[in-house]
Structure 1
Amino acid sequence: MDNEDRKLPQDVDGVAELLRGADYVSDRSLATVVHLALRLGRPLFLEGEAGVGKTEIAKVLSRALGRRLIRLQCYEGLDLSSAVYEWNYPRQMVEIRLAEAAGQQDREALTADIFSERFLIERPLLQALKPDPAGPPVLLIDELDRADEPFEAFLLEVLSDFQITIPELGSIKAPEPPIVIITSNRTREIHDALKRRCLYHWVGYPDSQRELEILRVKAPDVSAELAREVVAFVQGLRQHDLFKLPGIAETIDWAEALIQLNKVALDPAAVDDTLGVLLKYQDDIAKIEGSEAARLLEDVKREVALAER
């Protein structure tokens, strides 16, 4: 076991403690798969709805382990020049003009020079393969489902061998594999060939107990009563047939918004006035506001009162 291995948590409890130390409240199954990804050096593929904390895992690991975070935000049309590398064409042209002015005639030597690493612009994937004094970086490939399928095919080489082939330079291989976190909101299916190279975990919505703990960590200024009511209300909302259910991020945002309104407990007016913090589609807001929100709030008050007895 090398020095880098000894810096990593040695068991599942150690990972849970590491995450909690960086204000991330995980369940046992998530801590387990993170532990395995770290110990086995395998990419971790996290799938789930938006706002459940997938991206935050990479950020937390970066902070907790003292590693550099390299983020590749995926989008439709993402290509190699944005994700991997491109040549610095303006600098190359200047170099060619200078060589011509100096009377340099050796084209092969000039070509070799302008296609050297000093003219290479490194993008996130290539940056993640380079050695770092702090240890292998954390590479976050965020929302892979937004990228086109051909980009997935390119990732196979990166995730299999942790190397990238540049025609003019050859293969560049990482001396130590980066910690790779891949996220997907499942707007489309990711190909099996890529998933086979990763450990997989579905990040779901937390139960009420864990969500309450998350809220206490992320929004400590929220009163105990308001925190219980907020969590109960959001948990109730997730039982409805909505276009986009609120995630943990929305729970935290809502609690903090209510604090700004000087609320210590929920009331029907406050709920209706702030539904736009929780719900991001007008059809969902129209379905909940008014009588349905009032009914849900009554259930919440009853549930919290029973829990306090």
Structure 2
Amino acid sequence: MALPIYFAPLQGYTDAVYRCAHASLFGGVTAYYTPFVRIEKGDFRRKDLRDIEPTHNAGVPTVPQVIASQPDELCRLVDKVAEYGYRRIDINLGCPFPILVRRHKGSGLLPYPDEVERLLRALEGYDGFTFSVKMRLGWESPDESLRLLPLLESAPVRQITLHARLGKQQYKGEPDREAFARFYEVCHLPLVYNGDLTTVADMAAMEQRFPRLSGLMLGRGLLATPWLAEAYANNGALPPDRYERVARLHEQVWNYYAEVSQGAHQLLARMASFWEYLLPDVDKRLRKRVLKAHSVEAYTEAVQALWLSIREYR
């Protein structure tokens, strides 16, 4: 039986526009996690709040994520997110970006159990909420996650998503699935695996190896292959119209950003992110044309050539 599939939060990629377009065209995703909401220079970032606005996520099962280093900061974030009607909130203990790590946020908190405990204890006063944590194996060592597990299990946390890399790896190198296995063996909370799941075979292998998993979280795998969760739910069967749906996904994202972007440069930069992981196996020359386009006209021609190539190849 297929596990629940969660779409990972990726800053700069999985905003509300993308999430809504993907949810309208592809199945198999149980919930979409938002890129983290944060406080910057003493206030909430407007773009973060716009991204979790319920009207911008209509019909999409959405789990807002927040990032903080101090208990009062975390409470401010939870209170603000709750104003939008959410009662399920994810806490980021995994972000590896150095500027945040130095502030003891994301995976920068993992070497400091006392700070993690103070942070999560602040959640005890919230009745009617479901809190989860997305974390890494550690910053320097997988032992860090094992040391944190007892306090996670005693905190008001109902699920852990564990990305099987260290923070210092960023997104490089291989996930350490042996270290994940050691955590899995002693974890009593519902546990979700995250890290380099790019095929249905990968997902099925994880399901078989770790039968007590509560789900799988995919990020770059779903950005590359938007129908991947749907194929997994259908025992590997590929949607026959998958490329047509990817073209419609592109159209929805393009139309939105063509309307709101301030000039061609901003629009093309946003669409370059859209294509960064998408369809890595298509004609590399045509894909490079899309990514290197310096005008809307060149971009449009390159995308049309790419779709034509896909249709002819199939």
Q: Normalised by the size of structure 2, how large is the TM-score?
A: 0.36
TM-score computed with the length of structure 1 as normaliser: 0.36
The structure whose RCO (Cα within 8 Å, separation 6+) is larger is: 1
